[in-house]
Amino acid sequence: MITIRTQGDKKLITSDELAKDCWVDARNVSREDLSRLENEYHIAQELLADIMDPDEQARIEKEDEYTAIIVRLPIYDESFEVKHYAVPVGIILFNDKIITICQRSSDVLDDLASSRIRDFNIRNKSAFVLNLMGRAALGYLRALKDLNKSTNRIERELQKSVKNNELVQLLTIQKSLVFFTTSLKTNELLLEKLQKSALMRFKEDEQELLEDVLTDNTQAIEMANIYSSILTGTMDAFASVISNNLNMVMKRLTIVSIVLMIPSMVSGFFGMNVELPFQHNPFAFAGILGVSVLSAAVGALMLGERRKKKIAAITLPYTQNLMVHR
């Protein structure tokens, strides 16, 4: 969908025709929109293909008729498995207009279109780019805080019961953090290039805005790295818990199999189709059953006593040290 916006007194106005210093806002673009952008606005097909590539990195390039800037924006979509991710948006600066192209709709572009930024004016192209990148950095910070809240909630659920569903949710959050970290680093390189190169000229107040945007972007990178490290440690810890629980289950099953081994041998011996002792004794079945139960009980008691001695051997040094300190 392509929307043309012009600058009003206090907010942007939607228009049906192109005007000087207008903003052509293309979002959720279709093939017809791409064809229109190529034919009517004379945007190179290769550039349109790069903008529509979800893995395209942030960069700036100068052409004869326009300057093209690609920035990666944070996106939230409930319908996707990985709800938080990033997509590229193309900012194409002509002498008489600005064109933005994004394959998805974004809260960053919504903020610009609804004039939520103070003193926002689309006639100032350099300020437009900085405001968009500043809103993108703030969007990453908000998304990272949401991811951190989700991580804390899942951790509380995992403390009650370790299930595959919670671990899968942590994995999707980790994917989002990887997407954000990569996108933020490419945006940072773009900001540093804008700061040093002569492709765009900034006024003194815009230089301060550029530094503020770079600071917010750096803060978002640090937060993403911290949250990613914490999440990796959490997943490793719960993987160890799952492994330990599995070992405990296998240990109990081994104990049960050992306890039942002697009764199984007794019952198997007397179940053979040959002449056996006490074969004609009317109390043979009860005796065999009693021997089996008794042997199982003795085996269970022996294993229980062995476990108690092992626990006592582990805890005795700590108990003695505690008594000495007292």
**Whether pLDDT at 147 is above 60:** yes
pLDDT grade for 325, boundaries at 50, 70 and 90 = very low
Report domain extents, the chain: 2-242, 271-325
pLDDT grade for 219, boundaries at 50, 70 and 90 = very high
- The token pair at 74 is 């944070």
pLDDT of 318 reads 41
**Whether pLDDT at 320 is above 50:** no
pLDDT grade for 31, boundaries at 50, 70 and 90 = confident
CATH topology of domain 2-242: Beta Polymerase; domain 2 (3.30.460)
Q: What is the per-residue pLDDT across 109-143, written as a single tens digit (0 to 9) for each?
A: 888 887 777 777 778 888 888 888 888 998 899 99
In angstroms, the CA 73 to CA 7 distance is 24
pLDDT of 281 reads 62
Provide mean pLDDT across the span 64-90: 86
Provide mean pLDDT across the span 219-246: 82
pLDDT of 195 reads 81
**Whether pLDDT at 286 is above 70:** no
pLDDT grade for 304, boundaries at 50, 70 and 90 = low
Q: What is the per-residue pLDDT across 18-29, written as a single tens digit (0 to 9) for each?
A: 778 788 888 888
Is residue 179 within 8 Å of residue 86, measured between CB atoms?
yes
Q: What is the pTM of this model?
A: 0.74
